[in-house]
A and B are shown apart, each in its own frame.
Chain A
């Protein structure tokens, strides 16, 4: 029995031997190409079109006439879209694998709502603008902690954990509404836009926070990419194989929560990306659970495209990226559900 029989190739690098799904490699390659194209398009298109070659010449910043537009306006926002999309994709993939539920994602289990409530409070009480993101991060993590505490009594069993999350999400959302209604209408509107999620007016700083988070989580993600293979097994079977399923699940969820909460804190709730990206990736790779790298790449493509479309579709009116991801993500998920041969739920 060679690794080929299980659809994997063995990759050796020094003392490290990893198995990679053959299809993952192809899909990841294709997604990289798509992402590069989307990024280039995002850099070319704006209130003023810049030809791809000019964009490429402007990137190093040697004083072409497009330097400012490309390097200071479009590039930071596009890079932010890439890292945020990747974080959402990874976070969603981890949370969905643990919950064994393709409908579980940070925006369903309360993380987004926790961040939203905290951000709304910050925005409507006149807190400094710099405090909004940290508040949102704290809110998201706090909500996740509550969900984990509620779910951990039963060892983070899939159904419990999702139910706890949905309950927390609903409670937090209604609280947010109360705060918003009792606030000054202008502040309420700002909170509303934050809740939808937008990349407008954000750039390197936000991107750096998310990128550093992902970089710090990278070793855990490498481990998770392998350890997730036990997530489809029941606890008895996993324990029999020497796995500690509850500890693993906790590791996956905490990692997913950190990635998703950080991304949400920086750009708001860009809905559906964390939900759809892992499922799209899973179908592309034809795996039994969302593959992490491909989920990250699909997430990045989705957010870059959503931001690009939001900027141009009804120009000069700018739509927040979150509106587009919701508008694109919903129907796409429906399409998958209708078309998919396999049982999804």
Chain B
């Protein structure tokens, strides 16, 4: 069975504001879901709530039908890994050390290392293409290199579900494609469920099986990109006038802003 996440009547936010107001969302298991939406619309808040980093005010997050808040946090960490949007880079920690920290959920102080830890760390570093910089301190790396190290750390967690907040930000085009290909492989070869916040609509349309478009803390549309990604949706969500044409390479919908570009700021801007 593939792992599945959903929310029921989810209300979440911060001290001074409610961001998600009664969200019902199903993220299909074994698929790659891309979340898109304008800045500050609540994508990270949603991801953090799904990953139990943020406690909802009410409502539930369900992991394979069980309320996440009732599960031991270590057990959740073995089933669900999360890459926050901008993690704090610890000083003086090498790449290999940081990736190895992804094994925390499997370790105890009296059981600090096992062969499966070693194997998972090795594989994660190879998949994220950071094995060449294993000995470098993370705080001396470029933004894109750091991003790949964090991705490697979440991969080392060896979970069925991966939640990635803007995994391709900071990456050059080739590494963006590499990460998206990696995500695609994890999903198709290993049946992983991947949920990623992406800003590039065309990448989202090309790679994702399932697209969730958000605006102002609510889901405007959810479904396969080919059915939901339309001119109206883009205007509605981003206030951007565009053409949607089939991508000549993949056939996925391709969003091309009209010329001259006009932007009518969305509700949240």
- Would you call A62 an interface residue if the criterion is a C-beta within 8 Å of the partner chain's C-beta atoms? no
Pair A242/B73 contact, Cβ less than 8 Å: yes
**What residues of B have a CB within 8 angstroms of the CB of A237 in the complex?**
84, 87-88
**Interface extent on A, as a size class?**
35 or more
Q: Given the complex of chains A and B, what is the CA–CA distance between A10 and B115 in angstroms?
A: 11
Most chain A beta-carbon contacts within 10 A, residue among B52, B101, B105:
B101
A240 touches B92 (CB 8 A): no
CB-contact partner of B91 in A16, A239, A240, A343, under 8 A: A343
Stretch of A129-137, A186-194, A226-234, A266-274 on the interface side: A226-234
User: A17 on the interface (CB 8 Å rule)?
Assistant: yes
**Is there an interface contact between A234 and B112, defined as CB atoms closer than 8 Å?**
no
Whether the pair A227, B93 counts as a contact (CB closer than 8 A) is: no
- Choose from B81, B125, B157 the contact partner of A1 (Cβ within 8 Å): B125
Taking a contact as CB atoms closer than 8 A, the residue among A226, A233, A287 that contacts B87 in the complex is: A233
Choose among A8, A237, A286 the residue with the greatest number of B CB atoms under 10 Å from its CB: A237
Structural contact, A229 and B101, CB atoms closer than 8 A: yes
B14 on the A face (CB < 8 A): no
Assess whether A241 is in contact with B84, with CB atoms less than 8 Å apart: no
Is A33 among interface residues, defined by CB-CB distance under 8 A?
A: no
Main secondary structure of the interface of A (DSSP, over half): mixed
B134→A242 contact, CB < 8 A: no
Task: Determine whether B208 belongs to the interface, using a CB cutoff of 8 Å to chain A.
Answer: no
How distant is A344 from chain B, measured CB to nearest CB, in Å? 10
Assess the A8–B125 pair: CB atoms within 8 A.
no
A236 in complex: contacting residue of B84, B100, B118, B125, CB < 8 Å: B84
Once A237-B87, A241-B77 are accepted as A-B contacts, the answer to whether A288 and B111 lie under 8 Å apart by CB is no
Contact B111 A17 (CB under 8 A): yes
Q: Is A178 an interface residue (CB 8 A)?
A: no
Contacts of B110 in A (CB 8 A): 15-18
Partner of A6, one of B73, B94, B157: B94
Kindly list chain B residues whose C-beta atoms are within 8 Å of the C-beta of A2.
118
A241 contacts B104, C-beta separation under 8 Å: yes
A229 to B122, CA, bound (A): 19
Considering only residues 89-136 of chain B, those with a C-beta below 8 Å from chain A are 90-94, 96-97, 100-102, 104-105, 107, 109-114, 118-119, 121-122, 125, 134-135
- In angstroms, Cα B134 to Cα A343, docked, is 22
Tell me which residues from 10 to 65 in chain B have a Cβ below 8 Å from any Cβ of chain A.
Answer: 48, 51-53
Residues of A within 8 A of B267 (CB): none
Which B-chain residue is minimally distant from A8 (CB atoms)?
Answer: B113
A282's closest neighbor in chain B, by CB? B92
- Which B residues are CB-close (under 8 A) to A127? none
Alpha-carbon distance between A240 and B88 when the two chains are bound, in angstroms = 13
Complexed CA–CA distance, A242 and B102 (Å)? 10
Known: A7-B94, A232-B90, A237-B87. 11 other contacts (CB 8 A): A10-B113, A17-B110, A17-B113, A17-B114, A229-B101, A230-B101, A232-B91, A233-B101, A234-B88, A244-B73, A288-B92
The 9 A-B pairs of least Cβ separation, nearest first, read: A242-B77, A1-B122, A232-B90, A234-B88, A242-B74, A288-B92, A226-B109, A242-B105, A240-B82
